[in-house]
Structure 1
Amino acid sequence: MTGRRGGRPLVPAYLSTGGVARPSRSHLERLSVLTAAGPPAPAELPAAGLALLDVLAGGSLTVVEAAALLRLPVSAVRVLAADLIDRGLLLSRAPIPAADRFDPDLLKRVADGLRALKH
């Protein structure tokens, strides 16, 4: 997982996933939040899976954040995360939905009210 000076990883991403190309869970998105579930990692876990658990030891991260820290493609981290979820080592939750659009008229009225209080 550590890179060379040129920036290319020593191990190709498809080898990090054991040659698996698609995650077993299709609901994992780029912004899905991953959290370590708590049980200790088994000894037979691949190095990339251990690295993902290590990155998540400090708290929760999105799939894309974990990919950036591991210097792996998002698709590879989705495969790794799905495998760890299947083993009960990770928990995932859907991305936080985007907030509803604000009402510009309401904001204008609040700003006018604050100006009126100031004077």
Structure 2
Amino acid sequence: MRGESPGTPHQWLDDDAGPVVRPYTLTGGRVRSSHRFDLVAYVLAEPDADPTGHPDLQPEHRRLVALAARPVPVAELASDLDLALGVVRVLLGDLLSRGLITVHQPPAATNLPDNDILKAVVDGLRAL
């Protein structure tokens, strides 16, 4: 970062690099969320969600609530905010704990076919 003179209005910006705020500063140093979020889980803001009622939330939290006005996957939120997935998961955990969002996890794949059946299908396809 270039040398800063007193009174520089944008101390967190660098002309060449852009914003230089480390991801862990957004999460308060946390690297894991208190909740588990699948990449393809859909996030939806609660209809009465008002992040302005929570002064301790950061702008990224508020942006997540705004983006989740419609159902949106966790991976897309990370892409839209241009943040690491781990950071977005921590921020989403904060919002979920405050009741500002709901998360719809994909159904678990519990009814997978037996390996013997899959091998028989592959063998049958090879025989064609």
Scaled by the length of structure 2, what TM-score is found? 0.64
Q: How does 1:23-34 map to 2 (within 5 A)?
A: 23-25=33-35, 27-34=36-43
User: Are 1:56 and 2:65 matched, yes or no?
Assistant: no
Using CA pairs under 8 Å that are at least 6 residues apart, name the structure with larger relative contact order, 1 or 2: 1
Cα distance in 2 between the residues matched to 1:36 and 1:92: 9
User: Are 1:66 and 2:77 matched, yes or no?
Assistant: yes
Letter aligned with residue 56 of structure 1: A
Aligned length: 98
Letter aligned with residue 61 of structure 1: V
Instruction: Report the counterpart of residue 22 of structure 1 in structure 2.
Output: 32
User: Are 1:44 and 2:56 matched, yes or no?
Assistant: yes
Q: How does 1:66-85 map to 2 (within 5 A)?
A: 66-85=77-96
* RMSD (CA atoms): 2.8
Q: Which runs of 4+ in 1 moved over 4 A?
A: 3-9
Q: Is the 8 A contact 1:24 1:82 kept in 2?
A: yes
Q: How does 1:4-23 map to 2 (within 5 A)?
A: 9-23=19-33
User: Cα distance, 1:96 vs. partner?
Assistant: 5.1
User: Cα distance, 1:72 vs. partner?
Assistant: 0.3
Identity of aligned residues (%): 29
Matched residue SS, 2:68: helix
User: Cα distance, 1:77 vs. partner?
Assistant: 0.5
Letter aligned with residue 32 of structure 2: R
Give CA deviations for 1:71-116 in whole Å, capped at 9, x if unaligned. Answer: 0011111111111001000100112567x89xxxxxxxxxxxxxxx
